Structure 1
Amino acid sequence: MSHSLSKRQRRSLKTGGWVAVVVGVFVSWAWSDRLATAGSSSATAIAGGLTFSLFAIAVNLLRRAHPESKGRARTLWISAILACVTAGVVAGITPLAISAATTGTVTTSISAVGVGTEYRLAEAANIISDDYRQTNLDVTIHARDRTAPRLLAVVSFTDGSADLKCSNTRPVWIHEVSTVTLVCEEFRAVSTLHSISAVSIVET
């Protein structure tokens, strides 16, 4: 690039650079807030990658506003851009990798099936760990018109993990065939869910 930039051109580049910094900081704040609440690995990945991409753009614009930079200063500018690009790639990939490794659905049999006078539980259930760091057990109930009973499930594992308790927290009106979600006390990664040895469900 020619070193004979006009003052207006330099001012425009600097303004653009600092605008990119401000937008990047805002996106970074939104990204950090989403990391705290989780829930969407793809949105988190996009926000993280976008944050550092904006910082890379900002550094490059500020570098272009100082075309006279040589030697050590030029190396520092380029290093800063490369660091932002690398951080953006890591921020974009990490949430997706964590989600793929920890979330998922496992279909498991119910070892002890509770039976009431007005309902019958299916012999299989889905246990789900999601991006909200929540594990739930979805149970199908065959029943006449009535409110779903309060149920307590105890899930045991073969990998040495402690038993996991799940229960429905509020009454749900069910009719003939309905799915009731039992909320588990703790989050368990899908790798742990694959080691389920038994699931017992009783009415409380």
Structure 2
Amino acid sequence: MLGKLLRDRSGNFGVMTALMLVPLIGVGGLAIDISNALMVRSTLQAAADAAAIAAVAETSAGVMQAMQMKSDGQLTAAIEDAKKVFIGHAKMSEEYQLQNFDVDVVKTGTQLKAVFTFDAKVPTTLARVLGQKDVTVAGRAEAVFQTDTFRDFYLLLDNTPSMGVGATPADVKKMVDNTKDKCAFACHIVKDGVEDKNSY
């Protein structure tokens, strides 16, 4: 009977269309559903990027907490901020179900590192014909901030008269011409007509 059906040329278009309809709807639906899943992933990735950056931004609570810490460790203030930023940017909707999101912000030496991960399920529409009920999307965002390295810096400034040395030969000549004892250095302190021998 199958051989007779295959040899029969009448109604082939209708039979072939009926046979191909389910796979065509499934493949077309899969393309639409994958496109939708990619848009959801893009939204969630942007939210994760914003959360990771916010966790280690220069003026964030996490950086302030890190500056107060005497040792390495987890930055709880930064983790809380990152979660709030992610939820604010993620545009929670019925288009997807957020399965999990996690953030870890750690101070190691002068480096702060935030790592944000997420995964979500996006329900399908027409791809259900092929048995695909949802598409899983996942992402990861990472941000690093280098805190300032503080160093003690000492400046010694000599403000004694010996600093009045002429910088050029013309300046030295000018000094010699304008001093009574023809000195090229302004290092002789004379007070009440008495020269201070300890001044040079």
Same fold (TM > 0.5)? no
Name the structure where strand makes up a greater proportion of residues: 1
| Structure number with bigger Rg | 2
- TM-score, reference length from structure 2: 0.30
